[in-house]
Amino acid sequence: MMVIRRLAVAGSLVLLAAGGLVIASAGSATADNGGPGSVKPFLECVYHDTHTGQYNALWGYTNNYTSSITIPIGSGNSFSPGPANQGQVSTFAAGTHDNVFSTTWSGSGDLTWNLSHSATASSTSTACTTNPVPIGGSSTLTWILLGAAFIAAAVVITRRARRQPTASPSVG
């Protein structure tokens, strides 16, 4: 029973940390995607995965603003052909960022990321030397790290619980 209570406390601490990450990232400004050169997506390379027959594209972006901006997934931040949401980021930190996320498509036709500018991948784009998958969006990494932290906390708590002496029954 004590171990379950401690695991619940550890899980709560992990969720509080996750909430802190969300609150910390909420301080970025929101942009309407206007202005010349505000956020420019770019295609880094395309990899043809011969095992699946699919193509994987690796994407990055440049944000010329001096602070982070948010462009929600939708008409101002989408892929064509759809679906509009293909794992792209919606919060763009200032500066140039490589290896941000990857997408997978059949390789038939082009795949275009549309922001205030657009970038297009095709089966004949610059080839990647290695397969960029499984790079994910920033939320993927956050959840992986939070899961690892929860598991580590559970292991520590379980080991401590096993080391604590138990009261021996009275004889007599």
**Are 5 and 156 spatial neighbours (Cβ–Cβ below 8 Å)?**
no
**Are 57 and 100 spatial neighbours (Cβ–Cβ below 8 Å)?**
no
| 27 has a pLDDT exceeding 50 | no
Give the pLDDT of residue 166.
59
**Are 80 and 110 spatial neighbours (Cβ–Cβ below 8 Å)?**
no
**Are 88 and 137 spatial neighbours (Cβ–Cβ below 8 Å)?**
yes
Give the pLDDT of residue 25.
35
Q: What is the pLDDT of residues 33-53, one digit of tens each?
A: 444 458 999 999 999 999 999
DSSP strand pairing (69-70 vs 29-30): parallel
CA angle at residue 112 from 103 to 139, to 5 degrees?
Answer: 40
Q: pTM for this one?
A: 0.58
60, amino acid identity: G
